[in-house]
């Protein structure tokens, strides 16, 4: 099943959110119907947390209340994204299956009272999830209200229990083939960690000091595969009774213990939840970061923003409101990057319960409120963009992302505590976003030939195949920027011997890194061009590359900090420190220039974002989002789909979707 089904069904883009009517009663449902019409809601996610109502006791189902809500929504013109409720097992489940409650690394077993409390490796839990998914699919597989399926919610819970240990051993057996190979891969010859029998092997539970890095990395891989298997079981149970597309919502940017490339291949439609925690321009950049990742995980196909908030979520210790017009700009920031609409968590703010202070489309204050009026305006705007459904976005630049590299950078015992996988990726994306270019994410093993510039900010782990692929990319004419502590280990976390990064990538870069030299916390070093480095430095020598910037102090004085190398038809650049913001922005600008990539819309001031969606028949729509506090003139005025009138200027915080065909 493809997105086309959803697009045809909605006749445009999706607008709506999580709808939890079980919290309310008849008069409120009536009001919901009316207000959903006013807000132009056409898709509601129903049932995400409804397990206790759907199956009040093990094996006894009650669908009557859900029948009534689906019929009501359908009669009101609202299609349903029907969820399986498995992210929140009811209290009876804990009592019947205490062994299916998750265990923390220190051995503490959790219990119900919150949500997401289950062990994906526990057979009782997996069986229960397939049973309820099957029961829902049998009943609603062909229901006219159901436009798509939403399996589970944000698979995230990890577990270290005995079920997990048994499943982990099976997984390790399949991956390594023998205990000997596992010992070799994990380097157990050191610290007397050698395993003499499979039942000695455990998940990485609490222990005295550094945990074995190979064990930690394999556990993350194993857990990702466990999640995918659990998702597939429910998806297939649904597919047996329904032809509607199936998804599960990804949590971005990085707190999900999952290989999102792999998940992207399993779902009919990639869907993401995105909640920027910082306000202002940072929130807009974060929106782009999340949306560009979603589109990339979807393999360039359309995807869906499943959840966002009308306020930010916790920014450390508080919920910060969005400024007027920010809800629209965030919504359009996602749609501009290929989302087939915009949904929120949740439709109506809870009166009681755990997320009582979480924002919603309809706040406690009711319809007579700024937030609901903005939501109505956003619904109106989304409705006007219906003709964009199914169109896509292309990028000439990619940032490389690999979950193996992410997980590798989280093991114990690394040379610096300041290495931050997602922070480093975000920074590369932000510099490109500030430069006004549209960015894809790609895996180091993907075909990169369509990109003029590829940035590899944090591939500490790089497989042999990845290194060979990057070499090929440069040889064939690409421009590649590799940043420090890249390609230092292979996919077993074994150090590359004889110099870093991995061969044959080193050939494309024309360098050999001999010694990593992490910097002290807050240490700043001066480089020959006046920029500064923090976090990290490296002693490296050129092997064909030219040093364009050097270190100026200490034992690295005069040695290369930034190098460039012509290789084949392309260019490989290596940056061996964490450059300061202006220095990094200037480097990215230079590389873009050399790679022949210009901003989406030249001549626009900083803080004005542009992205273009295009249809296969050549139609193009240019989104222009003014995140500035002053008005901006548009260099090339055109008809604005949001107003139906020509636009030549945007007010502070204003947006336009310009027809470019
Ligand atoms: C999401 C979750 C929703 C809601 C929301 C609050 O991660 O899927 O159920 O809790 O966060 O921000």
Cis bond leading into 504, ω under 30°?
yes
Which segments of the chain have a pLDDT < 50? none
Q: How is residue 529 written in tokens?
A: 């061009």
Length of the chain: 661
Choose, from 31, 55, 138, 154, the residue flagged as catalytic. Answer: 154
Residue from 86, 151, 307 to probe ligand 1 pocket by mutation (most atoms less than 8 Å from CB): 307
Over the range 467-498, which residues count as b (16 or more CB within 10 Å of their CB) and which as e?
Answer: bbbbbbbbbeebbbbbbbbbbbbbbbbeebee
335 Cα distance to chain centroid = 15
Contacts for 373 with CB less than 8 Å, ≥ 6 apart: none
Distance from residue 287's CA to the centre of ligand 1 (Å): 16
Distance CA 597, CA 226 (A): 41
Distance from residue 158's CA to the centre of ligand 1 (Å): 17
Distance CA 263, CA 286 (A): 22
CA terminus-to-terminus distance, the chain: 31
Q: Are strands 271-273 and 303-307 parallel, antiparallel or unpaired?
A: parallel
Q: Is the CB of 355 under 6 A from ligand 1?
A: yes
Q: Is the CB of 153 under 6 A from ligand 1?
A: yes
DSSP-based three-state secondary structure for 583: helix
Q: How is residue 321 written in tokens?
A: 């409101």
| pLDDT at position 246 | 98
Over the range 157-176, which residues count as b (16 or more CB within 10 Å of their CB) and which as e?
Answer: bbbbbebbbebbbebbeeeb
pLDDT digits (tens, 9 = 90+) for 484-525: 999 999 999 999 999 999 999 999 999 999 999 999 999 999
User: Which DSSP state fits 162?
Assistant: H
Residue from 18, 273, 322 to probe ligand 1 pocket by mutation (most atoms less than 8 Å from CB): 273
Give the burial class of 418: count Cβ atoms within 10 A of its Cβ; 0-12 exposed, 13-18 middle, 19 or more buried: middle
Looking up tokens 């989304």 gives: 382
Distance CA 15, CA 36 (A): 10
Distances (CA, A) of 356 to 204, 278, 362: 36, 21, 12
pTM of the predicted protein model: 0.97
Ligand 1 atom showing the smallest separation from residue 153 Cα? 8
Choose, from 57, 58, 180, 307, the residue flagged as catalytic. Answer: 307
| pLDDT at position 2 | 62
Beta bridge partners of 17: 44, 344
| pLDDT at position 73 | 98
| pLDDT at position 428 | 98
| pLDDT at position 253 | 67
Query: 327: closest CA among 362, 368, 298, 293?
Result: 362
Ligand 1 atom showing the smallest separation from residue 355 Cα? 10
DSSP-based three-state secondary structure for 62: coil
User: Which DSSP state fits 563?
Assistant: E
Beta bridge partners of 57: 60
Distance from residue 346's CA to the centre of ligand 1 (Å): 8
| pLDDT at position 649 | 95
| pLDDT at position 277 | 77
Over the range 329-352, which residues count as b (16 or more CB within 10 Å of their CB) and which as e?
Answer: bbbbbbbbbbbbbbbbbbbbbbee
Give catalytic status of residue 266 as yes or no: no
Q: Is the CB of 155 under 6 A from ligand 1?
A: no
What's the count of helices (H) and strands (E) in the chain, helices before strands? 18, 28
Give catalytic status of residue 307 as yes or no: yes
Cα angle 482-486-487, degrees, rounded to a multiple of 5: 115
What is the CB-side half-sphere exposure of residue 445 using CA atoms within 13 A?
11
Over the range 113-132, which residues count as b (16 or more CB within 10 Å of their CB) and which as e?
Answer: eebebbbbbbebbbebbbeb
86 Cα distance to chain centroid = 21
| pLDDT at position 186 | 98
Q: How is residue 80 written in tokens?
A: 């349903």
H/E stretch holding 507: helix 505-509
For residues 164 and 121, the answer to whether their CB atoms sit within 8 Å is yes
Query: 326: closest CA among 364, 294, 280?
Result: 280
Residue from 345, 347, 356 to probe ligand 1 pocket by mutation (most atoms less than 8 Å from CB): 345
Distances (CA, A) of 56 to 60, 96, 255, 300, 424: 7, 13, 31, 41, 46
H/E stretch holding 379: helix 370-384
């Amino acid at each position: 099943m493809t997105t086309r089904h959803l697009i045809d069904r909605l006749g445009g883009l999706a607008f709506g959110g999580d709808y939890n009517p079980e919290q309310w009663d008849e008069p409120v449902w009536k009001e919901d119907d009316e207000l959903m019409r006013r807000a132009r809601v056409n898709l509601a996610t129903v049932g995400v947390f409804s397990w206790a109502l759907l199956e009040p006791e093990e094996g006894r189902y009650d669908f009557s209340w859900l029948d009534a809500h689906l019929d009501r929504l359908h009669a009101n013109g609202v299609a349903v994204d029907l969820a399986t409720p498995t992210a929140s097992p009811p209290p009876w489940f804990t009592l019947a299956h205490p062994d299916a409650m998750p265990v923390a690394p220190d051995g503490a077993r959790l219990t119900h009272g919150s949500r997401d409390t289950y062990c994906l490796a526990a057979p009782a839990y997996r069986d229960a999830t397939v049973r309820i998914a099957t029961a829902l699919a049998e009943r609603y597989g062909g229901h006219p209200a159901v436009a798509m399926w939403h399996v589970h919610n944000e698979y995230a819970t990890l577990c270290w229990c005995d079920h997990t240990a048994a499943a982990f051993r099976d997984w390790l057996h399949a991956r390594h083939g023998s205990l000997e190979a596992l010992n070799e891969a994990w380097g157990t010859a050191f610290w007397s960690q050698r395993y003499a029998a499979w039942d000695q092997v455990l998940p990485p539970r609490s222990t005295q000091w550094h945990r074995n890095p190979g064990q930690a990395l394999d556990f993350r891989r194993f857990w990702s595969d466990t999640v995918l298997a659990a998702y597939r079981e429910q998806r297939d149970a649904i597919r047996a009774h329904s032809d509607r597309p199936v998804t599960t919502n990804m949590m971005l940017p990085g707190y999900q213990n999952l290989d999102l490339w792999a998940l992207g291949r399993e779902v009919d439609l990639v869907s993401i939840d995105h909640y920027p925690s910082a306000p202002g321009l940072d929130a807009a950049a974060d929106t782009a970061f999340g949306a560009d990742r979603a589109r990339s995980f979807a393999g360039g196909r359309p995807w869906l923003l499943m959840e966002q908030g009308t306020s930010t979520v916790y920014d450390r210790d508080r919920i910060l409101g969005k400024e007027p017009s920010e809800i629209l700009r965030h919504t359009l920031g996602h749609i501009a990057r290929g989302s087939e609409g915009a949904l929120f968590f949740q439709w109506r703010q809870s009166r009681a319960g755990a997320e009582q202070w979480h924002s919603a489309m309809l706040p406690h204050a009711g319809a007579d409120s700024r937030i609901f009026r903005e939501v109505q305006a956003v619904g109106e705007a989304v409705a006007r963009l219906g003709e964009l459904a199914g169109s896509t976005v292309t990028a000439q630049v990619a940032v490389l992302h690999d979950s193996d590299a992410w997980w590798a950078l989280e093991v114990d015992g690394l040379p610096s505590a300041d290495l931050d996988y997602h922070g480093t990726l975000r920074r590369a994306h932000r510099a490109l976003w500030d430069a006004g270019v549209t960015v894809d994410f790609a895996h180091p093993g993907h075909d990169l030939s369509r990109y003029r510039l590829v940035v590899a900010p944090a591939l500490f782990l790089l497989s042999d195949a990845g290194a060979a692929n990057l070499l090929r990319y440069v040889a064939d004419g690409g421009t590649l920027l590799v940043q420090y502590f890249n390609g230092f280990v292979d996919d077993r976390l074994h150090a590359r011997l004889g110099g870093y990064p991995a061969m044959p990538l080193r050939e494309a870069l024309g360098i050999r890194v001999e010694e990593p030299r992490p910097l002290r916390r807050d240490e700043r070093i001066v480089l020959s061009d006046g920029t500064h480095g923090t976090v990290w430095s490296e002693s490296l020598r050129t092997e064909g590359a030219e040093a364009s910037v050097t270190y100026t102090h200490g034992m690295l004085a005069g040695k290369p900090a930034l190098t460039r190398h012509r290789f084949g038809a392309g260019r490989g650049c290596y940056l061996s420190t964490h450059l300061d913001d202006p220095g990094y922005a200037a480097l990215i600008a230079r590389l873009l220039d050399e790679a022949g990539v210009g901003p989406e819309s030249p001549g626009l001031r900083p803080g004005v974002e542009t992205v273009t969606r295009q249809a296969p028949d050549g139609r193009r729509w240019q989104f222009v989002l003014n995140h500035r506090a002053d008005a901006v003139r548009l260099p090339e005025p055109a008809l604005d789909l949001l107003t139906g009138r020509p636009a030549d200027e945007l007010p502070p915080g204003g947006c336009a979707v310009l027809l470019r065909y």
